[in-house]
Amino acid sequence: MNFVNIFKKTALVASLTMLVSFSASANTLLWNTGVTDSGKGAEGSVDQHYTLGGGAASYVGIGVNGAWLADSASNASAWITPTANANDGSLDPFTNGTYTFSQTFDLSGYDASKTSFSAMWAADNNASVYLNGSLLSSITGGTYSNFNSFSSFSANSGFVSGLNTLSFVVTNLAQNGGNPSGLRVEFSNVNVAAVPEPKTNAMLLSGLALMGLVVRRRKALES
């Protein structure tokens, strides 16, 4: 095998090593509300990725309230609710109710400082979203637009190595007789970067050193 072929193979190995070290898939890192691993959850089922109030179940709402933003035709997300019935009129008749929907995601093996995402959300009525306890965004005022259209939020800092928690604190305003409450979230542009393992870094450095040696020997032969 001549030096040119050695150089080409070494360059290919180094390129593949770089790709493995710094690319990562985030398809299952953050979950939209109301979906399973294979698509939209069945109405009335327990949401697989969001808990309510520190461990209680949250539900994919049965018969979404007509005033709420309709579930997406693509089944990308669905409303989740404190009870299985999305039209439950028994909630919070005289005092405001507070419902905290949370999901936990693991950044072990990823560079937390290079993680970011964008998302859309809607809630009945007011809501605030927190990343690891730090406020990211709020929709307030109890307005119709809080649950009839999406608002946006994002994060590009505040992540930690290991387990992270996103918490959506929804306040349902009392209405003299009870009324439903729910949350809808869709993520987009989720970006993560894998942390290179020491072995991978060593392989990369060895490959680069070999490339330099091949180049020097080839130049010596041509001179």
Give the pLDDT confidence of 37-94 residue by residue, as tens digits: 888 999 999 999 999 997 889 999 988 888 999 877 788 999 999 999 998 989 999 9
pLDDT at 138: 98
Domain region containing 158: 24-191
**Do 125 and 216 belong together in one domain?**
no
Tally of structural domains, the chain? 2
**Do 55 and 75 belong together in one domain?**
yes
**Do 11 and 50 belong together in one domain?**
no
**Which pair of structure tokens corresponds to residue 76?**
């990308």
**Do 11 and 48 belong together in one domain?**
no
**pTM (2 d.p.):** 0.77
From residue 3, how far is each of 15, 17, 195, 222 by CA, in Å? 18, 21, 33, 11
**Do 170 and 69 belong together in one domain?**
yes
Closest Cα to residue 63, out of 222, 182, 214?
182
**Do 100 and 154 belong together in one domain?**
yes
**Do 122 and 211 belong together in one domain?**
no
Tell me the β-bridge partners of 60. Answer: 80
Interatomic CA distance for residues 199 and 216, integer angstroms: 26
**Do 117 and 215 belong together in one domain?**
no
pLDDT at 176: 87
**Do 81 and 100 belong together in one domain?**
yes
Of 15-24, 80-89, 91-100, which range is least confident?
Answer: 15-24
Average pLDDT, the chain: 82
More confident of the two residues 127 and 14? 127
**Do 218 and 126 belong together in one domain?**
no
pLDDT at 55: 82
Beta strands across the sheet bearing 182-191: 134-139, 126-131, 163-172, 97-106, 46-52, 56-60, 80-81, 182-191, 116-124, 151-155
pLDDT at 52: 95
| CATH number of the domain bearing residue 55 | 2.60.120
**Do 152 and 216 belong together in one domain?**
no
